[in-house]
């Protein structure tokens, strides 16, 4: 299939899109329809000359927003649509052509991702209504981690909770970990070992990947487990919930809200969830910002050290995501916390590898694991998986 793929990432009040041609170097039309459902819905993005545009949306629902997105595609027609779907449960282990049965199965997994899957399905419904003739493909955030062995995905809970309710570790950010580990393999041509990948953005997760297979990852049943994130706590003592309920009388909704939206970098610093702002504040002596950065980096390193157990040998570490791609400070602190890995950071290369640059930032000692910064491309990966599925070859 040589036509462009329209990649859709649909939230409850937003649609992120990108039109991706078969030629990876062709310019991308991409943008965001936001505040859908409100009176100030807007569409903004970049046109084919890379010029930004922004305009008010006349209608405010998902179908109208998609119509406006289509109007903005400068006459190009997609040959297929690739949808980012957050949770595929155990059923979906790879990209899948969408039909009624697949929609019903995604609805069934909504219990595991009540905020995300129904919103993703709104995008599927709207695009099926608008382009009934086009093939639509679901690409799941969880699918890449379906290769985890039971020792990595099972919680030490009663078996019935797994068997009857699907309570296990699933992992997320799969398209990102898949993309950067595949790229690291292509850049390095090493054999036998594996990569630790660190996706550090507003959401953060690590993964251990060997030969294109995810062997362990830091997120679990939900995207709350694992690392410190922008506003999410990551790992806490599982006894915390009952402690807060008993001592402070907090209802579950409040605990959930605090752990998901009031914790992480924001909670620790008392200032902001944004790493760039935290770095500036820390530089000026803000103690909360300094602590937030310290905890964040230590927890990334601790998670990488833990996940290294999944690999027979460490080929290297890959940093990606808004923080991983742009913060030499965070990368340096993470590496400094792993002296026993024998890493050698090239500080000049580290400082220079920012703003979307791909680069190797280790000192190139032949025996040392490699350190890569690889800008992630989740949309590109979704388009590629969509294309490969429709072309009949496995991704
Ligand atoms: P993402 O969710 O991948 O878009 O990443 C968002 C995070 O990346 C936010 O915490 C930003 O502050 C952070 N980020 C972006 N640029 C920089 C930068 N130059 N230095 C530090 N953090 C950055």
Out of 40, 99, 141, 216, pick the active-site residue: 141
Whether residue 326 is contained in a domain is answered as yes
The question of whether 141 is a catalytic residue gets the answer yes
Residues 299, 283: Cα–Cα separation, whole Å: 21
**Residue 254 belongs to some domain of the structure:** yes
Q: Which of 140, 174, 207 is the last residue of a domain?
A: 140
Whether 112 is in a domain gets the answer yes
Give me the pLDDT at residue 10, please. Answer: 94
**Same domain, yes or no: 362 and 217:** yes
- Same domain as 337, residue 192: yes
Tell me the pTM: 0.95
For 194, the 3-state DSSP assignment is strand
Q: Are residues 115 and 248 both part of a single domain?
A: no
Residue 383 located in a structural domain: no
Whole-number Å distance, alpha carbon 176 to ligand 1 midpoint, is 16
Regarding whether 212 and 75 lie in a shared domain, the answer is no
Domain boundary among 79, 105, 140: 140
Task: Provide the H-helix boundaries in the chain.
Answer: 62-71, 100-108, 117-130, 150-153, 159-165, 174-188, 240-248, 252-261, 264-269, 275-283, 287-307, 321-326, 328-336, 347-352, 378-391
How many structural domains are present in the chain? 2
- Please indicate, yes or no, whether residues 316 and 203 belong to a single structural domain of this protein: yes
Q: Which of 276, 334, 351 to mutate to test the pocket of ligand 1 (most atoms within 8 A of CB)?
A: 276
Per-10-residue mean pLDDT of the chain, 395 residues long, equals 93 93 88 90 88 85 89 89 96 97 94 88 93 96 98 98 97 98 93 95 97 98 96 98 98 96 98 98 98 99 98 97 98 98 97 97 95 97 96 58
Atom of ligand 1 nearest to the CA of 265: 10
Taking CB atoms and a 6 Å cutoff, what residues make up the pocket around ligand 1?
201-202, 230, 274-276, 279, 321-323, 326-327
Which domain covers residue 135, as residue numbers? 5-140
Residue 339 and residue 212 in one domain: yes
Residue 351 domain flag: yes
Residues 242, 124 within the same domain: no
Contact 261, 193 (CB under 8 A): no
The C-alpha angle 291, 292, 297, rounded to 5 degrees, equals 100
293 domain-assigned: yes
Cα separation values, 54 from 29, 49, 74, 269, Å: 13, 15, 15, 33
Q: What is the CATH number of the domain that holds 67?
A: 3.30.420.40
Residue 393 lies in a domain: no
Is residue 276 a known part of a binding site?
yes
Pair (198, 130) in one structural domain: no
Tokens of 14: 């937003």
Same domain, 242 and 118: no
Is 372 in contact with 316 (CB distance < 8 Å)? Answer: yes
The alpha carbon of 218 and the centre of ligand 1 are apart by a number of angstroms equal to: 20
207 and 348 assigned to the same domain: yes
Cα separation, 322 vs 277, whole angstroms: 13
On whether both 118 and 203 belong to a single domain, the answer is: no
Ligand 1 centroid–CA 321 distance in Å is 7
Residues 50 and 120 occupy one common structural domain = yes
CA-nearest of 314, 393, 383 to 4 is: 383
Q: What is the pLDDT of residue 392?
A: 56
Residue 390 lies in a domain: no
């Amino acid at each position: 299939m040589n036509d462009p793929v329209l990649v859709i990432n649909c939230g409850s009040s937003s649609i992120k899109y990108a039109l991706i041609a078969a030629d990876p170097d062709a310019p991308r039309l991409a943008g965001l329809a936001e505040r859908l459902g409100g009176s100030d819905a807007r569409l903004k993005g970049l046109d084919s000359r890379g010029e930004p545009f922004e305009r008010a949306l006349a209608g405010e629902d998902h179908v109208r927003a998609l119509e406006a997105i289509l109007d903005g595609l400068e006459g190009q027609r997609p040959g297929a649509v690739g949808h980012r779907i957050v949770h595929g449960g155990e059923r979906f282990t790879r990209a899948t052509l969408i039909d009624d049965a697949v929609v019903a199965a995604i609805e069934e997994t909504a219990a595991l991702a009540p905020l995300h899957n129904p919103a993703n399905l709104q995008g599927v419904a709207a695009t099926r209504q608008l382009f009934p003739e086009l093939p639509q493909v679901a690409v799941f955030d969880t699918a890449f981690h379906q290769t985890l062995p039971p020792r990595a995905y099972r919680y030490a809970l009663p078996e019935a909770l797994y068997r009857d309710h699907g309570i296990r570790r699933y992992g997320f950010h799969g398209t990102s970990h898949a993309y950067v580990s595949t790229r690291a393999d292509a850049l390095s041509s090493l054999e036998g070992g594996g990569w630790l990948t660190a996706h550090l953005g507003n959401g953060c997760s690590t993964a251990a990947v060997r030969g294109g297979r995810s062997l362990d990852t830091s997120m679990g049943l939900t995207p709350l487990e694992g690392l410190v994130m922008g506003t999410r706590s990551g790992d806490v003592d599982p006894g915390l919930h009952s402690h807060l309920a008993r001592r402070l009388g907090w209802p579950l909704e409040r605990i959930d809200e605090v752990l998901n939206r009031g914790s992480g970098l924001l909670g620790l610093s008392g200032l902001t969830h944004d790493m760039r702002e935290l770095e500036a504040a820390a530089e000026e002596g803000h103690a909360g910002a300094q602590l937030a950065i310290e905890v964040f980096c230590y927890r990334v390193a601790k998670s990488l050290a833990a996940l290294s157990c999944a690999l027979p040998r460490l080929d290297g570490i890959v940093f990606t995501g808004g923080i991983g791609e742009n913060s030499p400070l965070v990368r340096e602190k993470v590496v400094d916390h792993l002296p026993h890995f024998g890493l050698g950071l090239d500080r000049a290369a580290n400082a220079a590898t920012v703003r979307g640059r791909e680069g190797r930032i280790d000192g190139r000692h032949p025996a040392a694991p490699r350190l890569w910064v690889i800008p992630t491309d989740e949309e590109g990966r979704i388009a590629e998986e969509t294309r490969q599925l429709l072309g009949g070859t496995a991704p």
